[in-house]
Amino acid sequence: MKDSVFYRKHTLNIRGKLLSLEIPVVMGILNVTPDSFYAETRISSEKDLIEKAAKMLEEEAGILDIGGYSSRPGASDITEEEEIKRVVPAIQQLVSHFPGIIISVDTFRSNVAKQAVEAGASIINDISAGELDTKMFETVASLKVPYIAMHMKGTPQNMVHQTQYENLLLEITNYFYNKLFKLHSLGITDIIIDPGFGFSKTREQSLHLLNNLEIFKTIEAPLLVGISRKSLIYKTLNTDSGNALNGTTALNTMAILKGASILRVHDVKEAVEIVKLTSEMQKGLSDNNQA
């Protein structure tokens, strides 16, 4: 049975074509960085990039998310020029090999976002929701592309020390209401929200956030969840990111059932299977309720 109380946008305008989110979409992660926390997604060459992208697309990824700036806790800062040098040629190569591909660029810098979209990216994925670059919102408005706004306090370099909240859920919800008001005032309507698991949040806070994910149904925007192989999983299981797939699958299943529209993952095949199974299950529940 469809939720009759809260409205949530179920399409994104991707360069004039509508991408449906009625069935959740899987976003595959491609990192053109030498120090991303999960080594398997690091890209070492053009051949490696194309092979990894081809595999993800074959496994039915709807979006590929490419980033040239590592935002893992403690990662080194890099210049804007270096980020552009990593990201823009990679996007051009992907667009050339896979016409019609939907690429999101993972950046908090407006100039990187602009050049990435000009190279063929269709979505901007900003971990700072405009906090680290005051020109980001006006850039998104001028580019007319969907925008992913994530919750984070501080910077990737100091966010581990920015975990103090009086009321975690209320503060994050209010953060998004304020962001959406500003974005809508600029004419930006294709907005996705990302609670930012692991970003300026402890393991316990991230798990609490996931357990209460339904709170974001009050916000009129699709919800992206990015928990793939993160420390909230592998530290809970006393293992490492390389052995966190099973835990990722378990929590991604919970995220879908609690309303996620996009799963950002390292392992596309397993995430697509989650989407297919939960969609069939929910379809069965809906049919029974209407009978």
What pLDDT score does 6 carry? Answer: 47
How many distinct structural domains can be found in the chain? Answer: 1
Mean pLDDT of the chain: 92
What pLDDT score does 43 carry? Answer: 78
Which position among 8, 179, 264, 283 bears the catalytic label?
264
Q: Is there a domain that residue 190 lies in? A: yes
Look at residue 36 and tell me whether its pLDDT is greater than 90.
no
Q: Taking residues 173-177, report their average pLDDT.
A: 97
Query: Is residue 27 packed enough to be buried (19+ CB in 10 Å), middle (13-18) or exposed (0-12)?
Result: buried
Q: Taking residues 42-51, report their average pLDDT.
A: 86
What pLDDT score does 23 carry? Answer: 95
What pLDDT score does 3 carry? Answer: 42
Q: Is there a domain that residue 7 lies in? A: no
Q: Is there a domain that residue 199 lies in? A: yes
Q: Is there a domain that residue 1 lies in? A: no
Q: Is there a domain that residue 254 lies in? A: yes
238-248 pLDDT, tens digit each = 999 999 999 99
Look at residue 1 and tell me whether its pLDDT is greater than 50.
no
Q: Taking residues 87-111, report their average pLDDT.
A: 97
Cα(26)–Cα(55) distance, rounded to whole angstroms?
13
Q: Is there a domain that residue 29 lies in? A: yes
Q: Is there a domain that residue 13 lies in? A: no
Q: What is the pTM of this model?
A: 0.92
Which position among 230, 269, 276, 283 bears the catalytic label?
230
Catalytic-residue membership of 269:
no
* C-beta separation of 73 from 98 below 8 A: no
Q: Taking residues 63-77, report their average pLDDT.
A: 85
What pLDDT score does 37 carry? Answer: 56
* C-beta separation of 70 from 87 below 8 A: no
For the ranges 46-60, 61-75, 147-161, the lowest mean pLDDT is seen at 61-75
Percent above pLDDT 70 for the chain: 90
Q: Is there a domain that residue 161 lies in? A: yes
Look at residue 187 and tell me whether its pLDDT is greater than 50.
yes
Catalytic-residue membership of 264:
yes
264-289 pLDDT, tens digit each = 999 999 999 999 999 999 876 666 66
Q: Which domain covers residue 227, as residue numbers?
A: 23-290
Which of 40 and 125 is assigned the larger pLDDT?
125
**How big is the CA angle at 110 (ends 179 and 141), to the nearest 5 degrees?**
55
**How big is the CA angle at 57 (ends 51 and 58), to the nearest 5 degrees?**
85
Positive or negative torsion for Cα 214, 216, 219, 225: negative
Q: CATH no. for residue 193? A: 3.20.20.20
The band of 57, judged by pLDDT with boundaries at 50, 70 and 90, is very high
207-227 pLDDT, tens digit each = 999 999 999 999 989 999 999
